[in-house]
Structure formats: C-alpha cells, structure tokens
Amino acid sequence: MSKTALLDTVRLPQDLRALEEGELPRLADELRSELIDAVSVTGGHLGAGLGVVELTVALHYVFDTPRDKLIWDVGHQCYPHKILTGRRDRIRSLRQADGLSGFTSRAESEYDPFGAAHSSTSISAGLGYAVARDMAGEDWRVVSVIGDGAMSAGMAYEAMNNAGASGSKLIVVLNDNDMSIAPPVGAMSGHLSRIISSKSFHSVRSVGKQLSRRFPGRLKSAAERFDEYARGLITGGTLFEELGFFYVGPVDGHDLSQLVPVLRNVRDLERQGPVLVHVVTQKGKGYTPAEESADKYHGVVKFDVVTGKQAKPKPQAPSYTGVFAQALIGEAERDEKIVAVTAAMPSGTGLDKFGSRFPERCFDVGIAEQHAVTFCAGLACEGYRPFATIYSTFLQRAYDQVVHDVAIQKLPVRFAIDRAGLVGADGVTHQGSYDISYLACLPGFVLMAAADEAELMHMVATQAALDEGPSALRFPRGEGRGVDLPERGQVLEIGKGRVLREGTKIAILSYGARLGEALEAAETLASKGLSTTVADARFAKPLDHDLLRRLASEHEVLITLEEGAVGGFATQVMQQLATEGLLDSGQLKLRPLCLPDRFIDHGKPAEQLAWAGLTADDIAATALRALGYNDAPGRERPATA
C-alpha cells in the first residue's frame, strides 16, 4: 500500500474539499512526508514548508481556490501548496532548468495569483486584488499569508495601514513561526479564537458598538477602548486593531481542529474591512533534523531523509562570502570605527562570523533594507565606517535611500554586494543582475568588482580606507577561484585596473568574476594564432582611462565582459571611448558581453552562464566573429525566462 494513499487521491484542491474533515490530519502527515522526500532529491527551502503543512491544507479546504485568491508571501513556504495544486508530478523538478520555480509564479499556475520571492508584498498585492474585486462587484475572497519575519518590513505596515482605511474585505494570515509576538498557545487560546471569530461573538460585539454610539462622549469612548483593550489583553491584537484590522488569534497552526473552524468563521464573517488571523507554527515541524537545526533547515541541498545529513560537496576553494567576512573582521580588528549592517541575512552574508567577533558592532535590522541603508548613513555622519552588507537583489529595495540618503550627501557608506551576478536555483527573482547599472549612474560612487578572492580582500581594505564618499563592492555567490590569499588586503589605487596577459590583436576587458573565462578564452584564441590581451578593470567607476585608451588604440577588437545587465560596465566604457573620440576612426571593433536583455530563470550556474553567452567559448567565438571568421561557433540563446 502506498505511504501516501490519501494524498494520491488529491490532485487539486477540489479533491481535498471532498474529504471528510476528520481525514485532514492524515492528509497533512502524508503531505509532510512527500515534501521531505521531494526536497531531499532537489534541495530547496524545507523548514518553512514543513511549518505550514496544516495551514496549507486548511486554507485550501476552507477557501474556494483558485476562485478565492491565496497569496503567499516570499514563497519559501509554497512547496506544500504546489503539491496540492496539480504540480505534485513535477515537484521533483523544483529549481531545476525547465522545472518548477522555488517560489510562486503566475506563469506556472492559476493557483499562484501573485509571484513572490522577495518578502513582505502579500498584503499589498492582496489589497489590490480585494479593491479590484469590489470595483467589479464580485464576491470572491482574498487571503494573504505573511510570516512574522516579513512583518519587520515597512511595506507590510504601509499595506496594513492602507487596508485598514480602505474598508475592503481582506483576510491576512500571520504565520508566526518564531514566537516573536505571542506566548505559546494551547487549548484555552484556541477556544478563545474560535469564539472571537464566530458570528455570535461578532454579532454581540456589533450590538455593543451600536449601543456605545448612543452613550455620551466620555462613556462612548471608554466603551470602545474597553472592547479593544479587553481583546488586546486576551490575544495581543491591539496593534492590529489600531491599524483597522479585526484580530483573531493566536491559533495553533498545527491543530486542524482549531484551524479549520477559525478559518471557516473568518471566511463567513459578514463584516467589511480586513481581518488578521494570527497562526503560530513551528518551522521545520515534523522532521526531527529540521526541528533541531539552528536554521530549521531553511535552505538545504540534497539530503538523506533518514539521517538528515546534507550532501554538501567538499569545497575546492573558500567561498567569496567567507573570504569577505574574514577580510572585514581583519579590518575591524585594526579599526574600531568599522561596523557591519545586514538586513535579515547574517549567515548568508557572513556577518554571523563578524557578529561573533564584534557583537556590539554588528547589526541585523530585519527585513528592512531601506532602514539599513539610512541607518548606515546616520552612522557615517558620525564618523563610523559602516559596511552595508546586502545581496544585490535585495539592495534594489532600498534604491531611493541609496540615492537620497547616501549619494547626494556624499556619505562614505560602504556597500558590500553579495550574490552579484547569476545565482543558480534561486532563479529570476534573485539574480544579482542590476547593481552595476543602478549604481553606476549615481555621481560620486566608486564601484569595484572582485575577479577572485584575493582581489576581494584588497577591495575590502580599499573600502575601509575610502572616506571621501560612497563605494560599492560586488562579488558572486559560491566558491572562489582557488588563488593564494594574502595575509591582509592591500589598498588599491582608485580607478586603476591591471593587465594579466599581454597581446596585440584582441583585448578582453573583464569586470568582476568572469576573469577566469576571459583567460581561458585567450588561450583558445592563442591556439588559433590570435594574440590576446586580458585586463581586469577592477573599477567600473572611475574607469582606468589610460588602460582603456591603450586597449582601444593598440588592438583590433575590444571585448568588455561583465556578469550584469545591459546598461552597466560596457555602457561606462562606451561612453568614455565616445567622449574621447576613440570610436571615430571606425577601426576598433567593440563587442560588449553582458547578461542578455531578458530575465534568466532557475538552473545550475553553468547552465545559466551558457544561456547568458558568457562562457569562455562564447567569448572566443565573439572575438572570432568580430574578425570575420564567419564559421566561428556560436550558441543560440534559449528563451528561458
């Protein structure tokens, strides 16, 4: 007999809704088992999904999805949802080329009404759906699920403030898996939640409010405050009431006998306006290795289901993130003014190591990139040397603060941009594609990119010494190139590149981590008798004008190479060449290689590099075609998006 016999009968939510309510706990157990087995094969986000198995079952059981809109925040927890919405047969293709996305995706399923891979968007999107529904005179429901961590972002409160004032009916489920808001819940709190969400309680409460309107002024306001604060004392919901939400909770998120009645009551409330259901869950629930892990198996590679041991390959070289952390610690040991700031990614950015060494000089501000940047600006005003250590894809969320609070004021905030470039299985939403373009246009910024881990150390030292204005250092995800590391990084001359290989026919000017491919391409070209120069720009701003002039005037072909979007390093180079008249003769064949002008979806890093046309073979073929070798191998870029 199948271990998932009941789950095998459920292909879509309507099949789930045909079950008896008493069968739901068994279904949840089988769903959890299927989730563990699938992620053990693919890797991905496990802990968050384990924590919402019962919640996912209850939501699809109570609400009429996809007619009712179920919007998941971030998407880390959406794997059980995917299994229940017609994608179980493809669940073992998660995060692989041409497979399922690791996040919700409108292109993937009608059960994903809103794509989400960055945090704290679900309430805003849900309110948009709710207002659109009201304007169209329709009557379906909108449910936004948001985690307690995501509630640290200002956007969530902006949305709640707007929702509370709008009067549109919106149900927000707060998935509290860190016990950060409420104490442990039990039978009494679950009982109270069922009462509070019931029609009878709501009717009595409405009558009380109507009567209170007939009271004289002071008695009226006192009665209203008593109602609000009595519920606040019982449930902790006063904050949400202040924002205009009807609060229900906390509810045990793993007890379907509590969840289903509460959600059903909330679904059937006749009141207008938003409702918040506070559900307490345990991240990693039901899988002992995840429950006992410090990060609850938030993100995993392939693992053994029985032991929980992850199949992590032995690294051949230290990771860029690890080298950055050690370099920053070294600089901070010599300079007590250096502080480090991250936005809810201490381990991902290596700042957990910095924080262990300097706990009083390390700040995790939560999912609040805008605040992180302006917080660093304030620190810089008082003479501290803040390193804002944020993934490229997340720094996008704070662009206004980068412009107004840092660049315009010429403050020496140091941006350390991890995950710059292609990021593999996390896919389109997490590619670090745009930071070169969106920072290079800002006056006064110094932009650096590390070609290897030794260069990364030098650039950390350079940033630490740079007090004249803002700077940004980008480096990729994953292992370094295995170069020898210095004892300490050396301060580089601002705006000066380096030449690693001298040639006469072709020049490859690389910015960042694709230098290895440039050197490999040069070997291929040399085997064909084509002498090739390879240079590392080091800086996109300011450019090394002397180096650029020499490469342009002494070579027939100049190729720029970067792992960033159109409008980045190559644009800076072409602007300078045009300004100096170095393109006027028409003798130079200039070929920019960058990420294609489309979104690149999830896959293995090597696959993504090939899709982008940035492999060593692609570089060599570009040079050959520029020289008129029409039979040079080329690659048709697939329309992966």
Active-site residues, by number, are 283, 369, 397
Q: Under the phi-then-psi rule, with left for phi > 0, alpha for psi from -120 to 50, and beta for the rest, what region is 98?
A: left
Is 472 one of the annotated binding-site residues? no
The DSSP letter of residue 532 is E
Residue 355, both tokens? 């924080």
**Ordered strands of the 385-391 beta sheet:** 362-364, 338-342, 385-391, 414-418, 471-474, 446-449, 539-541
Is 440 one of the annotated binding-site residues? no
Is 177 one of the annotated binding-site residues? yes
- Report helix, strand or coil for 387: strand
Is 322 one of the annotated binding-site residues? no
Q: In the beta sheet, which residues pair with residue 541? A: 447
Is 149 one of the annotated binding-site residues? yes
Which stretches within 473-560 are classed as H helix?
A: 515-526, 545-554
Is 418 one of the annotated binding-site residues? no
Rg of the chain (C-alpha set):
28
Residue 428, both tokens? 């389109």
Confirm if 228 and 237 have CB atoms less than 8 A apart: no
Confirm if 360 and 384 have CB atoms less than 8 A apart: no
Is 191 one of the annotated binding-site residues? no
| Residue among 493, 104, 47 at smallest CA distance from 308 | 47
How far are the Cα atoms of 110, 194, 197, 204, 423 from residue 200, in angstroms, in the given order?
Answer: 35, 11, 9, 6, 52
DSSP 292-349: HSTTTTSSB-SB-TTT--B-PPPPSS-BHHHHHHHHHHHHHHH-TTEEEEESS-TTTT
Is 175 one of the annotated binding-site residues? no
Query: CB within 8 A of 182, min separation 6: which ones?
Result: 176, 235, 236, 249, 250, 278, 280
How far are the Cα atoms of 131, 153, 175, 239, 495 from residue 365, in angstroms, in the given order?
Answer: 32, 10, 20, 21, 32
Is 148 one of the annotated binding-site residues? yes
Q: How many CA atoms lie within 13 A of 164 on its CB side?
A: 16
Distance (Å, rounded) from C-alpha 27 to C-alpha 35?
A: 12
Is 60 one of the annotated binding-site residues? no
Q: How many CA atoms lie within 13 A of 173 on its CB side?
A: 29
- Report helix, strand or coil for 385: strand
Distance (Å, rounded) from C-alpha 373 to C-alpha 342?
A: 9
Confirm if 16 and 57 have CB atoms less than 8 A apart: yes
Q: Which residue type occupies 189?
A: S
Cis amide prior to 289 (ω within 30 degrees): no
Distance (Å, rounded) from C-alpha 543 to C-alpha 494?
A: 9
| Residue among 241, 272, 247 at smallest CA distance from 192 | 247
Binding-site entries for thiamine diphosphate: 76, 117-119, 149-150, 177, 287, 369
Binding-site entries: 76, 117-119, 148-150, 177, 287, 369
Binding-site entries for Mg(2+): 148, 177
